[in-house]
Structure 1
Amino acid sequence: MTISRRQVLKGMALAPTVALAGPASFDKHAPKPVAAGEGALEFKVRRYETCLDNARWHPLSMGARARVEEYLEYKERVVWTKPDLIDQLQKSVKQNFARLIGADAGEIAYVNSTTAGETMFVSSLGLPDKDCNIVTDGLHFEGSLYLYGALQKQGMDVRCVRPDKNWRIDLKDMERAIDHKTRLVAVSQASFINGFQHDLKALCELAHSRGALVYVDAVQAVGAIPVDVRESGVDAMGSASYKWLMGDFGLGFLYVRQSVIPRLRRTLFGYRQLNAFNYHAFPGDPVGPYPASWSQHDDASGFFEIGTYSNATLAALSYSLPAILDMGPAAIQQHVQQLIAKVQREIPRLGYPSMTPADAGSPIATFLIKDSAALAKKLRTAGVDVAAGNGRMRISPSIYNTDGDIERLLEALA
């Protein structure tokens, strides 16, 4: 069923809480047939180009744009009454993200980006600390490698595991790097370089057996493949919303397992962490310590939410997250893997060796190229959008892509 803009706006204006609640049930392990371009997720990008670079930033759906327009109309009116639309959106979006990864809403904090969440979590562990070490790998995000490299320059023992000849991170190599002085293991669930996925459950069991916590960058995973923080055992996970969550910049999520939160320290402070705040300084104030007293939330928001976030992105997510939940990440993965399998089979025949393990299961396939600038120009001329640079070509199809899109890519490469 296609949902029109009129239906979206009417639903938001009359009953935002009901409209944003998402489906009644969700089984991410039960794929449903998906017909690309059909259903609640429609994308105008198909009119302009063959976009196979969704891992860079995912096009906004027409339904999500309608929600953003409704928010802008709401703000334009400047009539603020309780219950406020944004208050309702903040609750429902956080609840839907929690459902998407198998967490509780109290374990989720809003953050500005994936990197912001990882940086805050690392700081909350008291790092850098010369009495322990951090283990990461060479397929982790570049901003994260900068973070850990900077900590290393401050005297932190940082161990970075290299990929093997097949462009995987071998669990045995991680085992050699992780010891009983390791405080944190930080990896990407799906590498932005080549889509490689760790066996998170095995990695978490290894790390926990030696007393370490595990942080996972899931920005190239959540929304595109099934993610279950309970099943994997990860301690913390970050994701922005402008990629596979089909939102935009300025709003992301940080999951921290509830049992880990009491072990953390607050290193940044903001009004969103407050459960209550009372002045004791002005006429009419209750008696108390000058100038004020307060209490803090004891969940993830009470440690990591520090300021304002993008309300327009919140509005976009109020549409996209229920749609992703309704479709099911397993169904999305199943559709995308059919397209990935074709490029993995055909592109090496054209002279571009694959860097992506055949069983990666992520929405990314990367190939080695010789002349990045010439290839990028060739694909632009053909109206095909992929990431080409630094000797690599990264292809990342999404739910709206079709076999015809892959054929156009192959024709351009031939």
Structure 2
Amino acid sequence: MKVTRRSFVKVIPAALVTTHSGISQPIVTGTSSETGLPVRDAFVTQQFEICLNNARWHPLSIAARKATEDYLEYKSRGIWNQNGITSPISILVRESFAKLIHATPNEIAFVQSTTTGENLVVSALGLTQPGNFNIVTEALHFEGSLYLYTELKRRGVDVRIVKPHITDQGWSIDKADIEKVVDQNTRLIAVSWVSMINGFTHDVGWLASLAHAHGARLFVDSVQAAGCVPIDVRSAGVDFLASASYKWLMGDFGLGFLYARADILPTLQRTQWSYRQFSDIEYHAFPGDTPGPFPATFDQLHTAAGYFETGTYANAVLAALSYSLPWIQQLGVSNIQQHVHGLNAMLRKEMPQLGYECITPADAQGAIVSFSVKDDAGTAAKLKRANVDVSLNPRRMRVSPSIYNNEADVRSLLEALS
């Protein structure tokens, strides 16, 4: 019996797709004539606090929340009326992310998180056990990634972690320090495009050229870049890129993306297997089935999904992203970047006068600007009294405005600290 992908599994109601076949426009007020930002009326977060902590997780827009609620309302009815595992809404979201980073949809796999994507890449390249190779990363990479590579190092894998330069110009990773540790045995260079620590931004095109000159691949964590920094994986030469959706893509936990360059896919090992990795199945186990190898034959997908997808989608997050990703495209990532850099310029100028020295390099491209903190408890108390939300870690503060923030929000932070 031939069972097509269309009839094999039923998921995601068609009503959800038809409800959001057109993207409604949010109410936009108080905008800049240059960028169309901020869009304050598209969010409700400012009703609760002054949120300048979008690098932690980004609030849902009112319209994205409505898309999610429509899905939940339909799910509560318990009716499946769409055949197939590949739903129109998942196609829309996959295509939207591919467009955002200048990739093709076949190069995009849905994954649970950025870290899941990075683990899958390391495994697919065969780098989880010691061998005649090395991996290069750096200390401003995501902490979960540093744990991954530290554990591989304990197994005996040759992992080389580049230390940051700490200067009055900001914390950064020097290109010369990376060049020193990359050699002909390097198989992977893995970095965060924009560092979660202080927004330091790698020259990704340079890293890709360095990796390829030594026969290595480049993986970039783009969770602090995708949605607020223009990304073109094709022109930059990126081999692999991963991002969760709950930050600048304005989705939620549980669904992210993994980009894998199409021409690299045939060189990879499949290390996990799932019903999402084949297009058709033909059974040979039951009465009336066509004879063949027991129990079935499969048509494998030769796409990123065919190599990496291992489970069901987070449908509620897909619903939110079906609004958020096209909206980000509509607003323009360059406009978003210009808007947040304007707000961060105020902080770069004023915060040092209040005793908070900037540790973010001047050429950082993301939405993050970080500062050193001398009095953690005192700073936290001031911000709490003023109901201003930023990210506080021991001896440092991270501020990350977004598309709904304005100069008054920044002034509230400065006044709280003064």
- The offset of 1:16, in angstroms, is 5.0
CA distance in 2, matches of 1:349, 1:84: 59
Structure 2 gaps of 5+ residues are: 1-13, 26-32
Mapped partners of 2:246, 2:135: distance in 1: 28
Report the Cα distance in structure 2 between the residues aligned to 1:21 and 1:405, rounded to whole angstroms.
Answer: 27
**Secondary structure of the residue that 2:103 maps to in structure 1?**
coil
1:37 corresponds to which of 23, 34, 39:
39
For 1:222-241, list aligned pairs within 5 A.
222-241=226-245
After superposition, the Cα gap between the structure-2 partners of 1:103 and 1:132, relative to the gap in structure 1 and judged at 3 Å, is: same
| Partner amino acid, structure 1, of 2:410 | I
**What secondary structure sits across from 2:42 in the alignment?**
coil
Q: Superposed, which structure 2 residues align to 1:295-310 within 5 Å? A: 295-310=299-314
Q: CA deviation at 1:37?
A: 2.0
> 3-state SS of the aligned residue for 2:262?
coil
The one-letter amino acid paired with 2:146 is L
Q: Secondary structure at the match of 2:334?
A: helix
For the 8 Å contact 1:16–1:85, the answer to whether it is kept is no
The 8 Å contact of residues 20 and 67 in structure 2, kept in 1 or not, is answered as: no
Range moving further from structure 2, 399-408 or 200-209: 200-209
CA contact (8 A) 2:164 2:172 kept: yes
Q: Kindly indicate whether residue 118 of structure 2 is the aligned counterpart of residue 118 of structure 1.
A: yes
Query: Percentage identity across aligned positions?
Result: 51
Residue 145 of structure 1 corresponds to 146
Distance 1:125 1:14, change over 3 A: closer
Residue 81 (1) aligns with residue 81 (2): yes
Contact 1:32 1:327 in 2 (8 A): no
Measure how far apart 1:32 and its partner are: 5.7
Of 15, 18, 39, the match for 2:18: 15
Q: Which amino acid aligns with 1:134?
A: I
Match of 1:276 in 2: 280
Q: 1:74 & 1:215 partners in 2: Cα distance?
A: 38
Counterpart code for 2:227? G
CA-to-aligned-CA distance 1:63-115 (integer Å, 9 cap, x gap): 00000010011111222223679711110000000000000000000000000
| Counterpart residue identity of residue 149, structure 1 | T
Which residue does the alignment assign to 2:293?
289
Q: Could you tell me the TM-score, scaled by structure 2's length?
A: 0.91
In the TM superposition, what is the alpha-carbon distance from 1:19 to its structure 2 partner? 2.0
Give the equivalent residue in structure 2 for 1:25.
Answer: none
- Residues 313-369 of structure 1 show CA distances to partners (whole Å, capped at 9, x for unaligned) of 000000100100011100000000000111111101111111100111210011111
- TM-superposed CA distance for 1:297, in Å, is 0.4
* Paired residue secondary structure (1:19): coil
- The residue type equivalent to 2:22 in the other structure is A
**1:46 has 2:50 as partner:** no
Distance 1:232 1:16 in 2: 37
User: What is the total number of aligned residue pairs between the two structures?
Assistant: 394
Question: Once the 2 structures are TM-superposed, how far is the Cα of residue 155 of structure 1 from its aligned partner?
Answer: 0.5
Q: State the Cα distance separating 1:279 from its structure 2 match.
A: 1.6
Matched with 1:398 is: 402
User: Given the superposition, is the C-alpha separation of residues 56 and 283 from structure 1 closer, same or farther in structure 2, using an over 3 Å criterion?
Assistant: same
Secondary structure in structure 1 of the residue aligned to 2:172: coil
Alignment-derived partner of residue 4 in structure 1? none
CA 1:177–1:16: 2 relative to 1, 3 Å: farther
TM-align CA RMSD: 1.9
Instruction: State whether residues 17 and 88 of structure 2, in contact with CA within 8 Å, keep that contact through their aligned partners in structure 1.
Output: no
Which residue of 2 is the match for residue 3 of structure 1?
Answer: none
Structure 2: distance between partners of 1:121 and 1:321: 24
Mark the runs of 5 or more structure 1 residues left unpaired by the alignment. 1-10, 23-30
Q: CA deviation at 1:282?
A: 1.2
